[in-house]
Structure 1
Amino acid sequence: MGTRMDYGALLPEIALLIGAVAVLLTGSYLPRRRQWPTLLIAAAALTGAIVAGIVQALQSPTTVFTGSFALDAGSAAVRILAPAATAAVIVLGQPELRRTARESETIALLLLATLGALVVAGADDLLVLATGFLLSSIPLYGLIGITRTAAAAEAVTKTYLQGALFGVTMLGGIALLFAAAGATAYPSLTAAVAAAPAVVVALGAIAVTVGLLFEAGATPAHFWVPDATQASSRAVGAFLTTVPKLAALAALLRLVTTLQPAVDLPLVIAVVAAASMTIGNLAAFWQQDVRRLLGWSTVSQVGYLLLAVTAGAAAPAAGGALLAYLAGYTATNLTAFAVVAALPDRATIDHWRGAARAHPALTGALIIALLSLVGTPPTAVFFGKLAVFIAAWDAGYGWLVSIAAINTVVSLFYYLRWIVAAVGRTDAAPDAAKRAPGGLALVLGAATLALGAATVLLLGPNLTLV
């Protein structure tokens, strides 16, 4: 157990905290039409967090602060992916944010939510996990409602009520586990829960899991995701369907491996995975609003990702497969939102008719993103999904892999609806791309393909069924 009080180990989190406070204070004293210094501060904070995360990822895994915070592959991946994703979100959100009354506040909330995600991902103690949960979820409420529209007010109310319910459930689960095991630190829990009352431990573990499922947007805590994705700004939609998922899934994997075999959490999560992918796909079938469609798509993607969490305690390759899938999903999901942000007038599937003729490059990036979400080679999500399927199969969850494969085929329907509309012909005159992040969409689309090749190089030996 790491007992050292190494504040240098928390440089990514410290950079984000200082950046958020500096952005908020600087924005408060600057005229609304001169908020550009806050962008520089945010860029410096995010860059510093990424660099510090990369440096620490190269070091040996350890824990700090009396074993309450883990520095391992899972936390390292989130420390790199989450700030990078937030930087992309700020770029694609500039047309909506620039010179608005809440530009600096939105950026500060994004940094704070990212900070919370890093704490959740690295938490090796239930109390630290609860703190990270609050730090990552509370800024989301502000981000969703900051547009101050009727739809946003409804979405933030749903999100807040569900967040409060599942947050209290998580705290109750932590109390149960502490009462049963007499400890909250994961290393101590592993030994203590074996001798604790099985029913109390099971109830506590499920309650903590439910809280993380809210953060991930998985069934049964998924109802807020499509509403919030549709009603919030495009930047916030891209953020809430990406960054919280990174942290929650990494934390779930750590929790499952900690409590196994005292609690059969993998079976519970397997059922949740099957429900999430099925409900997300079926609900997305006839969606017309493209952002709402992406919201339901996120629910289904979390279901696939949960296969790796299910297999985490039994398959050594599950952790690497999960991280590869998360990296591919991050690039892919942000690509789709960057294209949507570049063409804001195309809000529904019908509005996308003829987009390929008017914007061939952006439509190409969208097609790459949607095919990657399906799991089409040689995109990043394909290889990540394949690695996750293999890990779940090796762990003895063949039935779950079969459900996931069927759902993958089913998901083709609604992704192809969007693609067919985009490449179809229309009598309408071509429109102009009036917003800036078009270049970002192309870069992220290329990254989605490049990550596919990188996944093969990193996980190649594990991409075969044994």
Structure 2
Amino acid sequence: MSGHDYTALAPEGVLVAGSVLVLLLGSFLPRRRLPLTRWVASAVLLGSVATALAAGTGSIFEHSYALDPATAVARVVAPLASLGVIWLGAGELARTTREAETYTLVLLGTAGAVVLAGATDLAVLAAGYLLASIPVYALVGLGRAGAAAEAALKTYLLGAMLGVTMLLGTVVLYGVGGATGYRDLHAGLVTAPPAGVAVGLVALLAGLAFKAAAVPGHFWLPDAAQGGSVTAAAFVTTVPKIGGVLAVLRIVDLMGGVAVAATWAVAIMAAASMIVGNLAALGQDDTRRLLGWSAVAQVGFLLMAPAALSDPEALPAVGLYLAGYAVTNVAAFAVAAAHPGRRVMADWAGLARSHPASATALVIAMLGLVGTPPTAIFAGKVTVFSAAWGAGWPWLVVLAAILTVVSLAYYLRWIRAAFIAPPDDQVPDGGAVRSASTVAVAAGVVALGLGLVAGPVLSAFSGHLTS
């Protein structure tokens, strides 16, 4: 499969067409009927996954878009994560004027993340970046609080600046390599001036650092997680990472045999993200901001896989880790969405006594984000660490292990807060938001289940990148 096969883009087409349908429904339905758009958006996401599972393999549109294990991971994990985001935010958005618009932006952002993951052409990568970024700006800004406007402005300014930087990188690489398609570009870069290759590579990675929320493009994420709605926070800390990390994976593959510095650049990004994310999370009291810094730290662990791409375990390892992170992070935000009145650590006192289901989901999510067995992230970390060690990055593995221990401090602090007795003057938060509580429990169960069946999941993600 290498021609102009439009049917091969059915999963992406379903997402884009579905977003238009949801937007039209939201424009004409009365407010009391707007919850219908949630069901339509959910059907669109499940339909996209169904078509992805039936898709073939190869490369389409003159080798500008790959249908391989990396794209398959994005096509399955990103829509399912967005499905969880939609339902954890159902209580927050129910019958509001921004309900249909939010679902439209989620669908478009999901399509952008998938395109980022599958792009094997610099022009397609740039288009995917814009499709994945613009909905994020709007999602963060839809929140009614003043902090949402500040977070949206910071997100937009950083995204636009690094987006222009990435476009500069694509122009430089095209100029020195003579092509935009990765297959032909690789051949051109072999004889290209090393300085030009280095400038193009650094600029390209800077843009992808924004999408993955890795250092140095991470500054926007904690503010977006804290200031935006819980729906926006859950989405921006989960789905864009899938496209961003897999796009970095392809760039490292493109640079194989051309620039050894590519793996070093990604390894340094991984180390910096782990260090900054974990150390910044230690001092957080607002739980959503804590999850924002946690997302920065987690991408550091994820980026170890692209740095270790020379090891055959790297590709299935990143697929398993991305799936585990997505479901675990959604579970954590679902707990936050189920109890919107609890924001700082002290507010969570007494949760285990009054809402044992939410407390159980919280324990699974926090221990899962640490990477304790038998959760999915534990299996992902073990395989990523193994791949990094096998690829010759022992110092990176040791650093990651140390910072995993450090992360226990802030993840366990949230668990401790949920299990201590509440003060006498604390006002009860009432019942949990049912939809979010259901998502929290379901996502927690899936996070455990993925860890228990890690072997078959790794086999499903195994394969080779289409170059």
TM-score normalized with structure 2 length: 0.96
Within-5 A mapping of 1:200-211: 200-211=196-207
Q: Which among 348, 352, 355 is matched to residue 352 of structure 1?
A: 348
Q: Distance in 2 between matches of 1:99 and 1:172?
A: 43
Within-5 A mapping of 1:45-60: 45-56=44-55, 59=56
Q: Which among 300, 304, 312 is matched to residue 303 of structure 1?
A: 300
Q: Distance in 2 between matches of 1:282 and 1:238?
A: 21
Deviation of 1:346 after TM superposition, in Å, equals 1.1
Deviation of 1:457 after TM superposition, in Å, equals 4.1
Give the direction of change, closer, same or farther, for the CA distance of 1:149–1:431 in structure 2 (3 Å limit). closer
Within-5 A mapping of 1:394-433: 394-428=390-424, 431-433=429-431
Alignment-mate amino acid for residue 444 of structure 1: A
Within-5 A mapping of 1:415-454: 415-428=411-424, 431-436=429-434, 437-454=436-453
Within-5 A mapping of 1:289-300: 289-300=286-297
CA RMSD of aligned residues (A): 1.3
SS at match of 1:257: helix
Deviation of 1:255 after TM superposition, in Å, equals 1.0
* Post-superposition CA distance 1:391-438 (Å, at most 9, x none): 000000000111101100111111111111111122447543241211
Deviation of 1:374 after TM superposition, in Å, equals 0.6
Q: Distance in 2 between matches of 1:379 and 1:3?
A: 38
SS at match of 1:288: coil
Q: Which among 190, 194, 207 is matched to residue 198 of structure 1?
A: 194
* Post-superposition CA distance 1:294-326 (Å, at most 9, x none): 0000000000001001101x1111000000000
Partner of 2:464: none
Q: Distance in 2 between matches of 1:302 and 1:244?
A: 11
* Post-superposition CA distance 1:350-391 (Å, at most 9, x none): 111111111111101101110011111111101100100000
Residue identity over aligned pairs, in percent, reads 50
**CA contact 1:64–1:70 (8 Å) conserved in 2:** yes
Partner of 1:162: 158
Deviation of 1:458 after TM superposition, in Å, equals 4.2
Q: Answer yes or no: is 1:67 the counterpart of 2:67.
A: no
Q: Distance in 2 between matches of 1:365 and 1:153?
A: 31
SS at match of 2:430: coil
SS at match of 2:59: strand
SS at match of 2:143: coil
Q: Distance in 1 between matches of 2:257 and 2:224?
A: 37
Partner of 1:317: 313
Alignment-mate amino acid for residue 275 of structure 1: A
SS at match of 1:33: helix
Q: Distance in 2 between matches of 1:244 and 1:156?
A: 16
**CA contact 2:172–2:199 (8 Å) conserved in 1:** yes
Q: Distance in 2 between matches of 1:55 and 1:356?
A: 43
Alignment-mate amino acid for residue 30 of structure 1: L
Q: Answer yes or no: is 1:370 the counterpart of 2:366.
A: yes
Q: Answer yes or no: is 1:226 the counterpart of 2:222.
A: yes
* Post-superposition CA distance 1:82-118 (Å, at most 9, x none): 1111111111111111111111111111111111111
SS at match of 1:66: coil
Deviation of 1:459 after TM superposition, in Å, equals 4.3
Q: Distance in 2 between matches of 1:399 and 1:275?
A: 13
Q: Answer yes or no: is 1:76 the counterpart of 2:72.
A: yes
SS at match of 2:440: helix
SS at match of 2:32: coil
SS at match of 2:248: helix
* Post-superposition CA distance 1:2-34 (Å, at most 9, x none): 541101100011111111111111111111222
**CA contact 2:278–2:403 (8 Å) conserved in 1:** yes
Within-5 A mapping of 1:251-330: 251-263=247-259, 264-312=261-309, 314-330=310-326
SS at match of 2:97: coil
What are the ranges of 5 or more consecutive residues in structure 1 without an aligned counterpart? none
SS at match of 2:444: helix
Q: Which 10-residue stretch deviates more, 423-432 or 144-153?
A: 423-432
Alignment-mate amino acid for residue 43 of structure 1: S
**CA contact 1:358–1:431 (8 Å) conserved in 2:** no
TM-score normalized with structure 1 length: 0.96
**CA contact 2:341–2:429 (8 Å) conserved in 1:** no
Deviation of 1:67 after TM superposition, in Å, equals 0.5
Alignment-mate amino acid for residue 160 of structure 2: A
SS at match of 1:101: coil
**CA contact 1:357–1:423 (8 Å) conserved in 2:** yes
**CA contact 2:2–2:58 (8 Å) conserved in 1:** no
What are the ranges of 5 or more consecutive residues in structure 2 without an aligned counterpart? 462-467
**CA contact 1:357–1:430 (8 Å) conserved in 2:** no
